């Protein structure tokens, strides 16, 4: 797994941006696929998720994820739930120790948050739609609702698709510019007429800086180009594969 420096120095948390390596899944899901919504063997996925939980020092049942819907919806986690009973949302916050908040991604940006003083953490799945509609800011606000202080929050953007691999059409770009004219800076012309390359990690980083939190980091890995290290929805689509794995990024408060 990968870690981010602004989160490494927070003594009361554990976190990790896990790659696709080190799991039990086979074939196109090899090997640490943590997406129970994929077509992978469910027993293998549960073993993979158990490995993630144990790596962070908790029992498998203490790892929670949501049914991600590309929204700006945030839920508070007070006790663990099962995958079958998980709510629909794209971000979680908690002040409860020992619960691992996990977000799944295969090109979208996973973002982990921690208050460096208060014992409050958050995790967000920020695809283009969630980032545009404010899922990261909603996560920060939900953390504040639990007692976090904006200036003490550190956030880290994990592996996601890079500008060089993310070609979009004109209607995609127009949606961003209609929301804010300055968003044009996140698009450069592609080789295909009337198409553009979109900088999702740069856009997410800028939104976090604009939120005026204490620290922002970006790991800078591209899920599309680093084929052996990460799952990628877009790469699977371009290859004509029927499905794709999901890597997990996770954060928790250490037990007191």
pTM of the model: 0.98
Can you spell out the DSSP letters for 126-186? E-HHHHHHTHHHHHHHHHHHTT--GGGEEEEE-SB--GGG-EE-HHHHHHHHHH-GGGGGG
List, for residues 104-133, the tens digit of each pLDDT value: 999 999 999 999 999 999 999 999 999 999
pLDDT at residue 256, rounded to an integer: 81
Domain residue ranges of the chain, discontinuous segments joined by +: 5-162+199-253
Using the Cα atoms of residue 147, residue 152, residue 158 and residue 164 in order, give the sign of their dihedral: positive
List, for residues 194-243, the tens digit of each pLDDT value: 999 999 999 999 999 999 999 999 999 999 999 999 999 999 999 999 99
Residue 17 has pLDDT above 90, yes or no: yes
CATH level 3 topology of 5-162+199-253: 3.60.140
List, for residues 159-173, the tens digit of each pLDDT value: 999 999 999 999 999
**For the sheet containing 121-126, what is the strand order?**
74-76, 91-94, 121-126, 109-115, 153-157, 215-218
Q: What is the mean pLDDT of the chain?
A: 98
Place of tokens 């158990």: 50
Query: Binning pLDDT at 50, 70 and 90, where does residue 97 land?
Result: very high
Place of tokens 């899944």: 25
């Amino acid at each position: 797994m990968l870690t981010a420096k602004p989160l490494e120095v927070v003594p009361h948390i554990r976190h990790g941006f896990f790659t696709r390596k080190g799991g039990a899944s086979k074939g196109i899901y090899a090997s640490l696929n943590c997406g129970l919504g994929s077509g992978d063997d469910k027993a293998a996925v549960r073993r993979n998720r158990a490995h993630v939980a144990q790596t962070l020092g908790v029992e498998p049942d203490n790892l929670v994820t949501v049914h991600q819907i590309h929204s700006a919806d945030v839920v508070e986690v007070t006790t663990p739930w099962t995958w079958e009973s998980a709510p629909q949302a794209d971000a979680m916050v908690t002040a409860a120790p020992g619960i691992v908040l996990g977000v799944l991604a295969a090109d979208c940006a996973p973002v982990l948050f921690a208050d460096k003083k208060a014992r409050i953490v958050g995790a967000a799945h920020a695809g283009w739609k969630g980032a545009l509609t404010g899922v990261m800011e909603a996560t920060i606000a939900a953390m504040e609702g639990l007692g976090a202080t904006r200036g003490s929050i550190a956030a880290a953007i994990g592996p996601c698709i890079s500008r060089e691999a993310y070609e979009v059409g004109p209607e995609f770009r127009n949606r961003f510019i209609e929301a804010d004219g300055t968003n044009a800076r996140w698009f450069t012309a592609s080789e295909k007429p009337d198409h553009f390359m979109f900088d999702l990690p740069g856009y997410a980083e800028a939104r976090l800086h604009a939120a005026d939190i204490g620290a922002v980091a970006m790991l800078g890995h591209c899920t599309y180009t680093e084929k052996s290290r990460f799952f990628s929805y877009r790469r699977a689509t371009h290859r004509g594969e029927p499905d794709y794995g999901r890597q997990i990024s996770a954060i928790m408060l250490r037990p007191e």
